[in-house]
Structure 1
Amino acid sequence: MYKLFLEQCFNLLKTGSECGIVIPSSFYNDLGAKQLREMLFSQSKMTGLFCFENRKTIFEGVHRSFKFVVLTFEKGGNTKKFPAAFMRHDVLELQRFPNSDSISISLELIRRLSPDSLSVVEFKNEIDFHISEKMTKFPLLGEKIEDKWNLSLKREFHMTDDKNLFKSYSKSRLPLYEGKMIHQFTHLYAKPKYWVDEQEGRKALLKRNESDISQLLDYQCYRFSYRAIGRSTDARTLIGTVLPSNVFSGNSLNIASPTQDNKSTVFISAVLNSFCVDFALRQQVSANINMFYIYQLPVPRLTKNDRYFNDIVQRAAKLICTTPEFDELAQEVGLVSHQQGVTDETERAKLRAELDGMVAHLYGLTEDEFSYILTTFPIVSATVKEAALSAYRNFAPMFGVSEILASI
């Protein structure tokens, strides 16, 4: 309801009058508030965006990780830039806001980073600015590019609306995957609770009046999926993997349509599970990872003809292809079978660290920049972060020294 109140506050103001209001942080990044942001940017001068967590229980009965915004604006004119502060815990800081530690965010940068939604990225300091600008040299995932793989996201079954399809286990039924069943690079995080009769599932998925002539549907293919729920305060925000073929999914998972080849699907999983992409996503997400957040991520669109593509795919495939359901995928990417997949936790950790190091190089990040990104994941163990940074250093000769490339 904050959207209604904020709009009415704007309507009640005379030109030159000011408003200060406390609202949920979703105002500055949710797609549903885009028109409000557009209105304030174009018809007012925003004078402050102060975001704080409820960590000290400022509001009783509200979860401590919930974030609020103190928004101030003057009606009339337009906004070119405004002071902002994010992830604050003490509202007493408002007495000193804005100050030299505040970040000045320009509307030009917002339009460049989030052209479709005008979302405001949670920059905490100057290095956030610098890294984000460096990453935006790559196209956003929502941009359609010829001769490259493109990402198209969807949901399959709704856990409430389609509950009549969900049944108990039977050999003749296919599992229904939910968000809690997957983690990064694994489809085995939990066992399925529900199962679906394939013919009933097909009928529900086919378009209205479309006949079932045994055509190939998405559920019969390998697909990248990610949890639809994720907070910037979690250990990791973006959690995804490749699902085996012949499984259905509920709405707690967002599913990518099959790509032109499965190698691209594995590559997508590798990059989106990286610390670098997670860092970019955490600057925008509140609680739900809506599809438009993923579409706004800048991601290198490497294909099989690009250098490093196969190196990344091979490592990710070893993490994903660990059961017989992935034998076909394993063979397609160059493994003999799922038996070449890696299940030993130490070896898996090594492969993941290598992927994180390689992706950091893809983005052209310096060692200092990648090291800073790792510090923004406070709940992740120091061992994991040290391994990723060590892998980055090991791959420096392979990719070329990032600092030199940046200078050039």
Structure 2
Amino acid sequence: MTNPTNTRTIVAALIPPRVVITNKGPYLLQTRGGCRDEAFVLGLLAWMIMDWCARRTVEMSLNFHVLNALPVPDPGEGHPVRDRVVEIAGRLAAVDDRFADWARNVGVPVGSVNDRKAKDDLIAELDACVAHLYGLDEDDLAVLYSTFDARRPDRYAEHHAAVLVHFRRWSAAISR
């Protein structure tokens, strides 16, 4: 169950092997691609723009009709920003040895994000990278973060500031 006043509408997670899940939420089953593609999609779904888009239509529960309508950019293998999304999402998802095989296929270490500060910084960089893939600019990010929580427009101000640091760094890197 979800609604616009919850903290997040889309809660994306990598499910470890041999774990049963219920039918309460939509899940994606890989039919093609590899673990790096899974990490990329996980990185997109974990980003606040997906949540922001979903909040425009979701009232009580996320379903495949909403999920399938969300935009998914893909610049293709080898794009530096896409590769960084894969790395960050992989590191954030591979929290323990249950994900060892998957992490090896993605090319990331298991359990490498152990403190809150490092995790928050990676999430901010993930948001910045995905913003670039969607072609957003700083004004778009300002709208996104100031309207994400209608009751508290300043709720994500600190996160927004951290995202801008990475966004500007990536802007400089990809414009070379």
- Normalised by the length of structure 2, the TM-score is 0.88
Structure 2 equivalent of residue 240 of structure 1: 12
Structure 1 equivalent of residue 28 of structure 2: 256
**Residues 146 and 157 in structure 2, CA contact (< 8 A), matched pair in contact too:** no
Q: Which one of 121, 128, 135 corresponds to residue 357 of structure 1? A: 128
Matched, 1:382 2:168: no
Q: For 1:235, what is the secondary structure of its paired residue? A: coil
For 1:114-129, what aligned pairs fall within 5 Å after superposition?
Answer: none
Q: 1:361 is matched by which residue type in structure 2?
A: H
CA shift, 1:298, in A, is: 1.0
Q: For 1:241, what is the secondary structure of its paired residue? A: coil
CA 1:399–1:284: 2 relative to 1, 3 Å: farther
Unmatched runs of 5 consecutive residues or more in structure 1: 1-228, 402-408
Q: For 1:393, what is the secondary structure of its paired residue? A: helix
**Residues 270 and 312 in structure 1, CA contact (< 8 A), matched pair in contact too:** yes
Structure 1 equivalent of residue 140 of structure 2: 369
Structure 2 equivalent of residue 152 of structure 1: none
**Residues 47 and 126 in structure 2, CA contact (< 8 A), matched pair in contact too:** yes
Deviations 1:121-158 (A, max 9, x none): xxxxxxxxxxxxxxxxxxxxxxxxxxxxxxxxxxxxxx
CA shift, 1:267, in A, is: 0.6
Identity of aligned residues (%): 26
Q: 2:137 is matched by which residue type in structure 1?
A: T
**Residues 361 and 399 in structure 1, CA contact (< 8 A), matched pair in contact too:** no
RMSD over aligned Cα, in angstroms? 1.8
CA shift, 1:321, in A, is: 0.6
Q: 2:135 is matched by which residue type in structure 1?
A: G
Deviations 1:332-369 (A, max 9, x none): 1112x414x21211100000000001111111111111
For 1:279 and 1:269, how far apart are their aligned partners in 2?
16
**Residues 236 and 377 in structure 1, CA contact (< 8 A), matched pair in contact too:** no
For 2:130 and 2:60, how far apart are their aligned partners in 1?
25
Q: For 2:27, what is the secondary structure of its paired residue? A: strand
CA shift, 1:383, in A, is: 2.0
Q: Which range is displaced more, 381-390 or 279-288?
A: 381-390
**Residues 371 and 389 in structure 1, CA contact (< 8 A), matched pair in contact too:** no
User: Rg larger in 1 or in 2?
Assistant: 1
Q: Which one of 346, 369, 391 corresponds to residue 166 of structure 2? A: 391
For 1:281 and 1:373, how far apart are their aligned partners in 2?
12
**Residues 304 and 310 in structure 1, CA contact (< 8 A), matched pair in contact too:** yes
Q: Which has the higher contact order (CA 8 A, sep 6+)?
A: 2
For 2:173 and 2:59, how far apart are their aligned partners in 1?
37
Unmatched runs of 5 consecutive residues or more in structure 2: none
Matched, 1:333 2:90: no
For 1:264 and 1:374, how far apart are their aligned partners in 2?
27
**Residues 354 and 388 in structure 1, CA contact (< 8 A), matched pair in contact too:** yes
Between the two proteins, the alignment pairs up a number of residues equal to: 171
For 2:3 and 2:169, how far apart are their aligned partners in 1?
31
Bigger proportion of residues as strand: 1
Matched, 1:287 2:60: yes
CA shift, 1:293, in A, is: 0.1
